[in-house]
Protein backbone atom coordinates (compact mmCIF):
# COMPACT_ATOMS: atom_id res chain seq x y z
CA UNK A 1 0.00 0.00 0.00
CA UNK A 2 1.33 3.44 -0.91
CA UNK A 3 2.41 5.67 1.94
CA UNK A 4 0.09 8.63 2.48
CA UNK A 5 1.65 11.74 3.93
CA UNK A 6 -0.21 15.02 4.45
CA UNK A 7 0.63 17.52 1.74
CA UNK A 8 2.09 20.23 3.95
CA UNK A 9 4.29 17.82 5.88
CA UNK A 10 5.70 16.05 2.83
CA UNK A 11 6.34 19.15 0.78
CA UNK A 12 7.97 20.86 3.74
CA UNK A 13 10.32 17.89 4.05
CA UNK A 14 11.02 18.00 0.32
CA UNK A 15 11.84 21.70 0.43
CA UNK A 16 14.53 21.40 3.02
CA UNK A 17 15.88 17.87 2.92
CA UNK A 18 17.68 17.81 -0.41
CA UNK A 19 20.53 20.12 0.50
CA UNK A 20 20.37 20.04 4.29
CA UNK A 21 21.30 16.37 4.08
CA UNK A 22 24.31 16.81 1.84
CA UNK A 23 25.95 20.19 2.48
CA UNK A 24 29.48 19.81 3.81
CA UNK A 25 30.52 22.78 5.94
CA UNK A 26 33.60 24.84 5.34
CA UNK A 27 36.03 24.67 8.26
CA UNK A 28 37.99 27.89 8.16
CA UNK A 29 40.63 28.79 10.75
CA UNK A 30 39.30 29.52 14.24
CA UNK A 31 35.72 30.05 13.12
CA UNK A 32 34.87 26.48 12.13
CA UNK A 33 31.69 26.15 14.28
CA UNK A 34 30.30 29.44 12.98
CA UNK A 35 31.26 28.60 9.40
CA UNK A 36 29.48 25.27 9.72
CA UNK A 37 26.38 27.00 11.05
CA UNK A 38 26.38 29.42 8.14
CA UNK A 39 26.91 26.89 5.37
CA UNK A 40 24.39 24.42 6.74
CA UNK A 41 21.76 27.15 6.92
CA UNK A 42 22.63 28.76 3.60
CA UNK A 43 22.95 25.42 1.86
CA UNK A 44 19.50 24.46 3.05
CA UNK A 45 18.02 27.38 1.17
CA UNK A 46 19.32 26.00 -2.14
CA UNK A 47 17.09 22.98 -1.87
CA UNK A 48 14.00 25.15 -1.71
CA UNK A 49 13.97 25.73 -5.44
CA UNK A 50 13.16 22.09 -6.16
CA UNK A 51 9.47 22.15 -5.23
CA UNK A 52 7.45 25.32 -4.60
CA UNK A 53 4.47 24.36 -2.52
CA UNK A 54 3.13 27.81 -1.75
CA UNK A 55 1.60 28.51 -5.15
CA UNK A 56 1.39 25.11 -6.78
CA UNK A 57 4.39 25.68 -9.04
CA UNK A 58 7.35 23.39 -9.43
CA UNK A 59 10.90 24.05 -10.54
CA UNK A 60 11.62 20.37 -10.96
CA UNK A 61 10.27 20.57 -14.48
CA UNK A 62 13.32 22.37 -15.80
CA UNK A 63 13.40 25.28 -18.19
CA UNK A 64 9.79 25.18 -19.36
CA UNK A 65 8.36 27.08 -16.39
CA UNK A 66 5.43 26.27 -14.09
CA UNK A 67 4.25 22.73 -14.70
CA UNK A 68 0.87 23.07 -13.06
CA UNK A 69 -0.44 25.92 -15.17
CA UNK A 70 0.83 24.42 -18.42
CA UNK A 71 -0.64 21.01 -17.64
CA UNK A 72 -3.98 22.50 -16.64
CA UNK A 73 -4.06 24.39 -19.92
CA UNK A 74 -3.33 21.21 -21.88
CA UNK A 75 -5.99 19.29 -19.96
CA UNK A 76 -8.57 22.03 -20.51
CA UNK A 77 -7.80 22.27 -24.23
CA UNK A 78 -8.53 18.55 -24.60
CA UNK A 79 -11.71 18.76 -22.54
CA UNK A 80 -13.09 21.59 -24.67
CA UNK A 81 -12.66 19.66 -27.94
CA UNK A 82 -15.22 17.27 -29.41
CA UNK A 83 -14.48 13.63 -28.61
CA UNK A 84 -12.91 12.75 -31.97
CA UNK A 85 -10.76 15.89 -31.95
CA UNK A 86 -9.70 15.21 -28.37
CA UNK A 87 -8.51 11.75 -29.36
CA UNK A 88 -6.67 13.17 -32.34
CA UNK A 89 -5.05 15.80 -30.09
CA UNK A 90 -3.92 13.10 -27.67
CA UNK A 91 -2.39 11.09 -30.49
CA UNK A 92 -0.31 14.03 -31.77
CA UNK A 93 0.83 15.23 -28.34
CA UNK A 94 4.58 15.87 -28.50
CA UNK A 95 7.09 14.08 -26.32
CA UNK A 96 7.69 17.27 -24.32
CA UNK A 97 3.96 17.66 -23.71
CA UNK A 98 3.68 14.06 -22.56
CA UNK A 99 6.66 14.64 -20.28
CA UNK A 100 5.08 17.72 -18.73
CA UNK A 101 1.72 15.98 -18.37
CA UNK A 102 3.34 13.07 -16.54
CA UNK A 103 5.15 15.45 -14.19
CA UNK A 104 1.83 17.17 -13.49
CA UNK A 105 0.14 13.86 -12.67
CA UNK A 106 3.04 12.93 -10.41
CA UNK A 107 2.79 16.21 -8.51
CA UNK A 108 -0.95 15.73 -8.10
CA UNK A 109 -0.29 12.30 -6.57
CA UNK A 110 2.23 13.87 -4.18
CA UNK A 111 -0.29 16.52 -3.20
CA UNK A 112 -2.75 13.77 -2.28
CA UNK A 113 -0.07 11.89 -0.31
CA UNK A 114 0.50 9.04 -2.79
CA UNK A 115 4.28 9.34 -2.89
CA UNK A 116 4.98 5.74 -3.86
CA UNK A 117 2.42 5.88 -6.66
CA UNK A 118 3.96 9.12 -7.95
CA UNK A 119 7.36 7.43 -8.13
CA UNK A 120 5.83 4.37 -9.81
CA UNK A 121 4.11 6.55 -12.41
CA UNK A 122 7.31 8.41 -13.26
CA UNK A 123 9.39 5.23 -13.29
CA UNK A 124 6.99 3.50 -15.70
CA UNK A 125 6.98 6.51 -18.00
CA UNK A 126 10.78 6.61 -18.03
CA UNK A 127 10.93 2.96 -19.05
CA UNK A 128 8.93 3.92 -22.13
CA UNK A 129 10.63 7.28 -22.69
CA UNK A 130 14.12 7.38 -21.14
CA UNK A 131 14.75 10.86 -22.57
CA UNK A 132 11.86 12.45 -20.64
CA UNK A 133 14.19 14.76 -18.71
CA UNK A 134 11.55 16.59 -16.68
CA UNK A 135 10.02 13.35 -15.43
CA UNK A 136 13.47 12.02 -14.56
CA UNK A 137 14.39 15.19 -12.68
CA UNK A 138 11.11 15.05 -10.77
CA UNK A 139 11.61 11.39 -9.88
CA UNK A 140 15.15 12.03 -8.63
CA UNK A 141 13.94 14.97 -6.55
CA UNK A 142 11.25 12.83 -4.91
CA UNK A 143 13.74 10.03 -4.29
CA UNK A 144 16.15 12.45 -2.62
CA UNK A 145 13.40 14.04 -0.55
CA UNK A 146 12.31 10.55 0.53
CA UNK A 147 15.83 9.70 1.70
CA UNK A 148 16.54 7.20 -1.08
CA UNK A 149 19.90 8.55 -2.21
CA UNK A 150 20.98 5.35 -3.95
CA UNK A 151 17.93 5.31 -6.21
CA UNK A 152 18.30 9.02 -6.90
CA UNK A 153 21.93 8.52 -7.86
CA UNK A 154 21.01 5.73 -10.29
CA UNK A 155 18.21 7.82 -11.78
CA UNK A 156 20.52 10.80 -12.28
CA UNK A 157 23.39 8.74 -13.67
CA UNK A 158 21.08 7.39 -16.36
CA UNK A 159 19.93 10.92 -17.11
CA UNK A 160 23.45 12.30 -17.33
CA UNK A 161 24.42 9.48 -19.69
CA UNK A 162 21.61 10.58 -22.01
CA UNK A 163 21.93 14.34 -21.49
CA UNK A 164 25.25 15.19 -19.81
CA UNK A 165 24.62 18.92 -19.94
CA UNK A 166 21.04 19.03 -18.66
CA UNK A 167 21.25 21.58 -15.84
CA UNK A 168 18.59 19.94 -13.68
CA UNK A 169 20.47 16.64 -13.57
CA UNK A 170 23.77 18.39 -12.90
CA UNK A 171 22.44 20.40 -9.97
CA UNK A 172 20.83 17.42 -8.27
CA UNK A 173 23.82 15.15 -8.82
CA UNK A 174 26.24 17.81 -7.55
CA UNK A 175 24.20 18.14 -4.36
CA UNK A 176 24.16 14.38 -4.00
CA UNK A 177 27.95 13.91 -4.23
CA UNK A 178 29.25 17.15 -2.73
CA UNK A 179 29.92 15.55 0.67
CA UNK A 180 31.96 12.61 -0.55
CA UNK A 181 33.52 14.19 -3.64
CA UNK A 182 33.24 17.99 -3.79
CA UNK A 183 35.84 18.22 -6.54
CA UNK A 184 33.70 15.98 -8.75
CA UNK A 185 30.66 18.12 -8.01
CA UNK A 186 32.58 21.25 -9.02
CA UNK A 187 33.88 19.58 -12.17
CA UNK A 188 30.34 18.63 -13.14
CA UNK A 189 29.09 22.20 -12.80
CA UNK A 190 32.22 23.53 -14.54
CA UNK A 191 31.21 21.85 -17.79
CA UNK A 192 29.20 24.04 -20.17
CA UNK A 193 27.13 25.89 -17.55
CA UNK A 194 24.03 27.92 -18.45
CA UNK A 195 24.24 31.69 -18.26
CA UNK A 196 23.78 33.40 -14.92
CA UNK A 197 20.52 34.91 -16.17
CA UNK A 198 19.18 31.54 -17.29
CA UNK A 199 19.74 29.72 -14.00
CA UNK A 200 20.79 31.74 -10.93
CA UNK A 201 20.16 28.71 -8.69
CA UNK A 202 22.82 26.78 -10.62
CA UNK A 203 25.35 29.47 -9.79
CA UNK A 204 24.35 29.76 -6.13
CA UNK A 205 25.14 26.08 -5.73
CA UNK A 206 28.27 26.45 -7.87
CA UNK A 207 29.57 29.28 -5.68
CA UNK A 208 29.02 27.29 -2.47
CA UNK A 209 30.93 24.37 -3.98
CA UNK A 210 33.76 26.62 -5.14
CA UNK A 211 34.08 27.91 -1.58
CA UNK A 212 34.11 24.35 -0.33
CA UNK A 213 37.14 23.47 -2.48
CA UNK A 214 38.94 26.75 -1.76
CA UNK A 215 38.35 28.53 -5.08
CA UNK A 216 37.32 31.76 -3.41
CA UNK A 217 38.11 34.16 -6.24
CA UNK A 218 35.82 32.25 -8.59
CA UNK A 219 33.11 32.13 -5.93
CA UNK A 220 33.42 35.88 -5.36
CA UNK A 221 33.00 36.59 -9.06
CA UNK A 222 29.78 34.57 -9.10
CA UNK A 223 28.41 36.29 -6.00
CA UNK A 224 29.08 39.69 -7.55
CA UNK A 225 27.09 38.67 -10.60
CA UNK A 226 24.26 37.27 -8.51
CA UNK A 227 24.12 40.42 -6.39
CA UNK A 228 23.87 42.57 -9.50
CA UNK A 229 20.75 40.60 -10.36
CA UNK A 230 19.33 40.52 -6.82
CA UNK A 231 20.90 43.20 -4.60
CA UNK A 232 18.11 42.84 -2.02
CA UNK A 233 19.02 39.24 -1.12
CA UNK A 234 20.41 39.16 2.39
CA UNK A 235 21.47 35.53 1.97
CA UNK A 236 23.60 36.38 -1.06
CA UNK A 237 25.24 39.25 0.82
CA UNK A 238 26.04 36.89 3.68
CA UNK A 239 27.51 34.26 1.35
CA UNK A 240 29.56 36.98 -0.32
CA UNK A 241 30.79 38.15 3.09
CA UNK A 242 31.92 34.65 4.03
CA UNK A 243 33.91 34.31 0.81
CA UNK A 244 35.46 37.75 1.28
CA UNK A 245 36.49 36.97 4.83
CA UNK A 246 38.09 33.73 3.68
CA UNK A 247 40.37 35.74 1.38
CA UNK A 248 41.35 38.17 4.15
CA UNK A 249 39.31 41.09 2.78
CA UNK A 250 37.96 41.96 6.21
CA UNK A 251 36.79 45.51 5.43
CA UNK A 252 34.81 44.36 2.41
CA UNK A 253 33.51 41.40 4.40
CA UNK A 254 32.30 43.73 7.15
CA UNK A 255 30.48 45.87 4.58
CA UNK A 256 28.85 42.76 3.09
CA UNK A 257 27.78 41.52 6.54
CA UNK A 258 26.21 44.93 7.17
CA UNK A 259 24.37 44.72 3.86
CA UNK A 260 23.08 41.27 4.82
CA UNK A 261 21.86 42.71 8.11
CA UNK A 262 20.08 45.59 6.34
CA UNK A 263 18.36 43.35 3.81
CA UNK A 264 17.36 40.74 6.38
CA UNK A 265 18.03 37.02 6.35
CA UNK A 266 14.74 35.51 7.47
CA UNK A 267 16.42 32.63 9.27
CA UNK A 268 17.43 32.55 12.96
CA UNK A 269 20.63 30.57 12.38
CA UNK A 270 21.77 32.89 9.61
CA UNK A 271 20.87 35.96 11.67
CA UNK A 272 22.85 34.60 14.62
CA UNK A 273 25.87 33.82 12.46
CA UNK A 274 25.78 37.22 10.80
CA UNK A 275 25.63 39.01 14.15
CA UNK A 276 28.59 36.98 15.43
CA UNK A 277 30.70 37.88 12.41
CA UNK A 278 29.72 41.53 12.58
CA UNK A 279 30.77 41.67 16.22
CA UNK A 280 34.05 39.88 15.52
CA UNK A 281 34.97 42.07 12.56
CA UNK A 282 34.01 45.31 14.31
CA UNK A 283 36.36 44.40 17.13
CA UNK A 284 39.21 44.41 14.60
CA UNK A 285 38.48 47.91 13.31
**Residue-wise pLDDT tens digits, 76-133:** 433 343 444 444 445 567 888 999 999 999 999 988 889 999 999 999 999 999 999 9
Per mean pLDDT, which range of 46-50, 75-79, 208-212 is the poorest?
75-79
pLDDT, position 232: 96
Taking every pair of Cα atoms in the chain, the longest distance, rounded to a whole number of angstroms, is: 77
CATH numbers and ranges of domains, the chain: 12-49+178-285 (1.25.40.10), 51-165 (1.25.40)
Q: How many CA atoms lie within 13 A of 108 on its CB side?
A: 12
In this predicted structure, the answer to whether residue 35 has a pLDDT above a threshold of 90 is no
**For residues 15 and 60, what is the distance between their CA atoms, to the nearest angstrom?**
11
Q: What is the mean pLDDT of residues 275-282?
A: 92
Amino acid sequence: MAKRVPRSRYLTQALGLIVWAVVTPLALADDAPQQREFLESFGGQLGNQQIKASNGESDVSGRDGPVVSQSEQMQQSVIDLPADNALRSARVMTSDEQDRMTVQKGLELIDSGDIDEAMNLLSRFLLERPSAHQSRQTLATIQLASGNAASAQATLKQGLALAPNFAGFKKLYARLVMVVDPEAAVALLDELPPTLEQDPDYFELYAVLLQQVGRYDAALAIYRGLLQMDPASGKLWLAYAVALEATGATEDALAAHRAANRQGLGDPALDRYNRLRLKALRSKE
